[in-house]
Structure 1
Amino acid sequence: MSLTIADRSDLPHFKRELQEAFALAVIDEYGELPDGPIPSDEDLDHSFNAPGAVALRILCNGKTVGGAVVTINDESHHNTLDLFFLKVGEHGHGLGLKAWFAIEARYPETLTWRTHTPYFEKRNIHFYVNKCGFKIIEFFRAVPFHVGSYPHDVKKFRAS
């Protein structure tokens, strides 16, 4: 398992793979996607261009199997895992945990990692809490909550 920084020219492909991976969970939960990809192109551009953001490609035996966006604070060493995905068809082979270990190894000065995920993503919650050792520190719902305006108003949790 290895990580490389995604080239700027690769970001459109990175976005598409991430959106395809995220779409599966939304469709499983809600039966359909709302208008437009999840997360939106605008949200992804914001993540890619945030101060300290690093877009990483996850490679297994030289083959791209996923990606992550982390935000690294070189002063406080309190970092965030903003986006993390395995490509469609790559789940269930232990790659996610190996990728997480590779991310931790890449940033050994990190004191804490924080992330968040929608509450309906039980598989993600299990992964972060039971596999990676995150602790749930906050549970929240977007306000105002409008029934039927999924998935932007879904309950989420934050973990550290």
Structure 2
Amino acid sequence: MTNHSVSLTVADRGDLPDFKKELQEAFAVAVVEELGDLPDGPIPSDEDLDKSINAPGAVALRILCDGKKVGGAVVTIDEETHHNTLDLFFLKVGEQGHGLGHKAWLAIEARYPQTVTWQTHTPYFEKRNIHFYVNKCGFKIIEFFHERHPDPNHPGADDPAGGEGFQFEKVM
């Protein structure tokens, strides 16, 4: 798939139900692999997704490969500080492992050239994500959250990982 063109477009309102469903399906794969089952309801919940997508500065992006929808991302852009966050990032089930995620990340970086830092997080059990962010995209792990050191921005009450996870940062 190395010759395929990856691009981004802002997700339109009419596409958000599919966007959310595809994101939840992609996230469910790792949760089921780790826990053997999904907790009650999709991960993340519709309510959490709506909060993320509608947050101040948030932009829901569609990842396209040769014009076909293959994933998405939600970024929060701070136009004053340029310290931005990658809140959600996914490839549709079946689209992983072809280099599309890395191309999509590079497209996100190119879309926001004023960025000073990017931050993101992932559950501790998501080894593929940890590899992707650190080894492919150049992020550094800056913090590990767990029961005795909870993440103040992502409380883990309904988190299948129990709030355990890594905070990553990339200085541009």
| Same fold, judged at TM 0.5 (above) | yes
Counterpart of 1:20 (choices 16, 25, 42) is: 25
1:158 aligns with 2:167: yes
1:114 counterpart residue number: 119
**Aligned with 1:82 (options 83, 87, 91):** 87
Q: How many percent identity over aligned positions?
A: 76
Counterpart residue number, 1:65: 70
Residue 144 of structure 1 and its aligned partner are, at CA, apart by 9.8
Confirm or deny: 8 A CA contact 1:34 1:150 kept in the other structure: no
Q: How does 1:6-155 map to 2 (within 5 A)?
A: 6-142=11-147, 151-155=160-164
Query: CA RMSD, aligned part only?
Result: 1.5
Letter matched to residue 32 of structure 1: D
Deviation digits for residues 106-149 of structure 1 (CA, Å, limit 9, x no counterpart): 0000000000000000100010001100000110025799xxx7
Write the deviation string for residues 4-53 of structure 1: whole angstroms up to 9, x where unpaired: 00001111110000000000000011111001000000100000110000
* Cα distance in 2, alignment partners of residues 136 and 31 from structure 1: 27
Scaled by the length of structure 1, what TM-score is found? 0.94
For structure 2, the residue ranges without an aligned partner over 5 or more in a row are 1-5, 151-157
What stretches of structure 1 move > 2 A for 4+ residues in a row?
Answer: 142-145
